[in-house]
Amino acid sequence: MSEIEFIGFISNNNSSETIVRQGPVLDPVHIETVAKAHENAGFDRALLAFHSTSPDSLQVAQHVLGVTEKLNVLIAQRPGFTSPTLLARQFAVLDQFSKGRVALHVITGGNATELRQDGNTLDDKEERYARTAEFLDIVRAEWSSEKPFSYAGKYYQVENAFAQVKPYRKEGIRIYFGGASDAAIDVAGRHADTYALWGESYAQVREQVARVSAAAAKHGRPAPRFSLSVRPILAETEDKAWAEAQQILERATALQDQTGYRKPADGHATDGAKRLLAIAEQGKRVDKRLWTEIARLTGANSNTTALVGTPEQVAEVFGDYYDLGISHFLIRGFDPLIDAIEYGRELIPATRELIARRQGAKGVAAE
């Protein structure tokens, strides 16, 4: 199995479903503080998100890399708005400056209304994924080709493209990829080094791992690594953790108009959101301790399912997901700074220790 990786989340300001932003949209002090907290807490990497109205994640990531020493970054980008040759060189330069601490998170985007804010003209989602596949063909060629190359696709054409600057490591820059539709799964099989799921049920994770692995095999590639995104809610006892979850739901409900975290007015839901809403229909609690109420409240338009319990109980669930093929855990709380520190204190070490024990036990059994 792949090595465990913990991925955090660095927002541009101190806000969430339960916290109304008080400072500027781009808050350097918050970004620097949360970045350093993630590094000190033992996270391997942190995600910088992308939205058509938000600060540019590439530039925010550059600042994060400048104020940390070891923390890797996962920079979300959407194909279609930057030339693939230019984006490839931007990432290679940043990777060189940071000595290999950069990864690319490719989000094609499921909401055509939002995408039009950035000038997108492809409303058909399958076409957008076809464009994404071409985009990544060129990005990979720009990173790896030792001589000029040309590419003649439907959406992109380049002649004698070449990058003098390459990624820091010979194996290149890792590509993380999200998307749950059939078109997305095919692109994941073709290009993903790590495939990202939201916090789904055991049954759904088993299904997605199989779908993506089959798509990779169809393209003659090994199965990628798999990442799960979830919102841990921790307390010293299980009862206190569930009480905290209820308080989070009450605050999120009361603050929806002020935070903007509410169901899309047009009823729009991506395939990933539909999968979270499907498990929300199964009940408030699914499997051992997967909590769906925030997903139900907000229309699941982002990473909104939670794992509720003590650090040891949540680590046990991570162990279950690991047995299903998950090796990366993208975790963020409802209080961005405080929760990152808390995860580093108990949850991350407990999970690493539990999975190491399981690996050891399997190794002994194999002998």
Looking at residue 118, what is its pLDDT?
A: 54
Res 278 pLDDT > 90: no
The alpha helices in 73-232, defined as continuous H runs, are 84-97, 112-115, 125-144, 182-191, 202-218
Cα 209 from Cα 244, distance rounded (Å): 32
Looking at residue 115, what is its pLDDT?
A: 73
**365 vs 105, more confident:** 105
E strand or H helix at 33, and its extent? Answer: helix 28-41
Cα 181 from Cα 215, distance rounded (Å): 12
DSSP code of residue 155? S
Range in 105-114, 201-210, 241-250 with the lowest mean pLDDT: 105-114
Looking at residue 197, what is its pLDDT?
A: 95
Task: Mark 257-268 as b/e (b = at least 16 C-beta within 10 Å).
Answer: eebebbbbeeee
Nearest to 325 by CA among 222, 186, 232: 222
What percentage of residues in the chain have a pLDDT greater than 70? Answer: 92
pLDDT digit string, tens, across residues 296-331? 998 877 788 999 999 999 999 999 999 999 999 999
pLDDT digit string, tens, across residues 58-98? 999 999 999 999 999 999 998 888 999 999 999 999 999 99
Looking at residue 236, what is its pLDDT?
A: 97
**330 vs 279, more confident:** 330
Q: Is the pTM of this model over 0.85?
A: yes
Cα-based distances in Å from 350 to 76, 279, 303, 318: 28, 27, 23, 10
Looking at residue 73, what is its pLDDT?
A: 98
